[in-house]
Amino acid sequence: MKLSKKLTMSFIFSIILSIFIISLISNSMINRKFESFLVKERENRFEQIRKDINDLYLKNSYTLSQRDIANYASLEGVYIEIKDSNNQTQCHSSKGQNMGMHRKMMNNGHMRMMQNISAGNYLERSFPLLDGKNIVGTLIIGYIDNSYLTESALIFKNTLTKSFMVSGIITIILGFGISILLSKGLTNPLVNIRNTAIEMRKGNLEYRSKVNTSTTEILELSDSINFLGETLASQANIRKRYATDIAHELRTPLTTLKSHLEAIIDGVWEPSEKHFSILMEEVERLSDLVEDLKNSFNAEEVKINTKKTQFNISAELEKIIIAFIPLYNEKNFSIDYSLEENIEIFMDKDKFRQIIYNLLSNSIKYLKENGIVFISLKKHEEKVVIKIKDNGIGIKKEDLPFIFERFYRSDISRNKETGGTGLGLSIVKSLVEAHNGIVEVQSEYNKGTEFTIVLPIEY
Ligand code: ADP
């Protein structure tokens, strides 16, 4: 069912329900008040009749004839009977005559609705006729219960019901209009957001939803779908760039391999050990690249694949450094370290090794003559701080913001033919962030570089 139809229907339903409940409650309340008012009125009337008859009775020396009371009874629409002090009926009006008035009302076309109501029971009430304080007779008034009430109450009730019906119809018409406006105000922006989602599904990721509404939730929904579009578009861009970067990176070693192999086939190059080892180097570079690519997923993906254990990070770091010493010595570089002992950490050990391995490999690649690398490890407020500082070639200011991006390599690095892939630091960043840590760099061109890694002891 469409939202607008649903809203309109619920709106109309609640209007009808409230009118029904209001009319029911007010009808019964007014009825009660009205009836008690009319009963009081009747009592006053009977008291008046009693007074009039009493005066007449005293004036006529305790004797009244049918003639005296007939007109009076007929006028008042009641039955009147007078009994003397011995309780003997002195006179009475005709019952038929009194009831006739009631019947006359019943037959009146104007009062036709009264026929739906029972005429009520015939009742009699007796009142003492007094001379001073002495009871000198009895007055009996016969009437049809409800006969007065029904007449006035019904007119009133009918008017009330009519007014409720008229106001009900007006409210329903107004409500219908308001609900259409209201539901339009809600559904129009929703339709707009739905169309945006459809466009995005079709691949049109630049399409944005524009809604004109003051409803917070709808505004938020529209913002969310726009944000989703932006994220999807930027991810699509990243994927595209990633694919071109990979293709570009793979092309260089493959072209070299191809040209060397062609040279061997054409007999330009002898198939000697020297030439094969050049080919081998290119193959190794390719396999390094593939290995790096495998690890260059983003932090969220790494997080899923971490196997955390508790281990002594001081001992582990020292082991890695010791393993690197021969590589530094080979190139006449030196490596020094100062590690706070026995710091325990809870993280993925292999990932930690890879972080340090990548940073130390970089420092070897980018050191100059008399190169020194200094590594420190400290514990600071439930965090482990590792610094790797070198006095190498440094990084130019303009390169600094990009070095953690995939495939980013400075011109110097490219020219130096370090054999780097431009993935090392992006992998370091992903791994550190996957452990809720941060990695920072400080560098001065031609002077040296310092990487700082902060890892929470437990996350
Ligand atoms: P690469 O495989 O090129 O080393 P990385 O992602 O490891 O890729 O590093 C990105 C770039 O950051 C490098 O090309 C280099 O320019 C710079 N870089 C990284 N480490 C250092 C360092 N210790 N000294 C100087 N430059 C560095």
| Residue 182: pLDDT band with limits 50, 70, 90 | confident
| Residue 116: pLDDT band with limits 50, 70, 90 | very low
Q: What pLDDT score was predicted for residue 103?
A: 40
| Residue 110: pLDDT band with limits 50, 70, 90 | very low
413 lines ligand 1 (CB under 6 A): yes
In the predicted model, what is the mean pLDDT of residues 103-122? Answer: 47
366 lines ligand 1 (CB under 6 A): yes
Coil vs helix vs strand at 385: strand
Helix runs in 296-410, H state only: 299-304, 313-330, 349-365
Q: Residue 74 above 90 pLDDT?
A: no
422 lines ligand 1 (CB under 6 A): yes
Q: What pLDDT score was predicted for residue 239?
A: 77
Closest ligand 1 atom to 423 CA: 6
The domains of the chain, with CATH numbers, are 3-170 (3.30.450.20), 236-303 (1.10.287.130), 306-456 (3.30.565.10)
More confident residue, 371 or 407: 371
Q: Residue 315 above 90 pLDDT?
A: yes
Q: Could you give the CA distance from residue 348 to residue 278 in angstroms, rounded to a whole number?
A: 36
Q: Residue 441 above 90 pLDDT?
A: yes
Closest ligand 1 atom to 388 CA: 23
Q: What pLDDT score was predicted for residue 31?
A: 75
More confident residue, 152 or 20: 20
375 lines ligand 1 (CB under 6 A): no
Q: What pLDDT score was predicted for residue 284?
A: 86
Task: Give the CA radius of gyration of the chain.
Answer: 53
Coil vs helix vs strand at 203: coil
More confident residue, 229 or 298: 229
Measured torsion, CA atoms of residues 106, 108, 112, 117, in degrees rounded to the nearest 10:
-10
Q: Which token pair is 335?
A: 């490596």
- Among the residue ranges 62-66, 290-294, 319-323, the one predicted with the least confidence is 290-294
Label residues 411-427 b or e (16+ Cβ within 10 Å = b): eebeeeeeebbbbbbbb
Q: Residue 247 above 90 pLDDT?
A: no
Closest ligand 1 atom to 427 CA: 6
| Residue 388: pLDDT band with limits 50, 70, 90 | very high
In the predicted model, what is the mean pLDDT of residues 310-328? Answer: 93
Report DSSP letters for 266-306, one per residue: TTSS---HHHHHHHHHHHHHHHHHHHHHHH---HHHHHHT-
Q: What pLDDT score was predicted for residue 2?
A: 82
Q: What pLDDT score was predicted for residue 417?
A: 58
Which residue in the block uniquely carries the two structure tokens 């922006």? 189
- Among the residue ranges 117-121, 125-129, 160-164, 408-412, the one predicted with the least confidence is 117-121
Q: What pLDDT score was predicted for residue 244?
A: 76
**Span 84-102, pLDDT tens digits:** 888 888 898 887 644 444 4
Of 130, 139, 121, nearest to 49 by C-alpha is 139
Q: Residue 291 above 80 pLDDT?
A: no
Q: What pLDDT score was predicted for residue 101?
A: 42
Extended strands (E) in 305-437: 308-312, 334-339, 344-348, 372-380, 383-390
Ligand 1 midpoint to CA 169 (Å) = 79
Is this model's pTM higher than 0.75 or not? no
Q: What pLDDT score was predicted for residue 301?
A: 67
Q: What pLDDT score was predicted for residue 100?
A: 41
371 lines ligand 1 (CB under 6 A): no
What's the whole-number average pLDDT of the chain? 84
More confident residue, 116 or 287: 287
Q: What pLDDT score was predicted for residue 414?
A: 59
Ligand 1 midpoint to CA 185 (Å) = 56
392 lines ligand 1 (CB under 6 A): yes
**Span 365-377, pLDDT tens digits:** 899 888 999 999 9
Q: Residue 362 above 80 pLDDT?
A: yes
Q: Is the dihedral of CA 31, 34, 37, 41 positive or negative?
A: negative
Looking at mean pLDDT, say which of 8-12, 362-366, 382-386, 428-432 comes out highest.
382-386
Which residue in the block uniquely carries the two structure tokens 């009146």? 108
395 lines ligand 1 (CB under 6 A): yes
Instruction: Please give the share of the chain, as a percent, with pLDDT higher than 70.
Output: 88
In the predicted model, what is the mean pLDDT of residues 307-331? Answer: 92
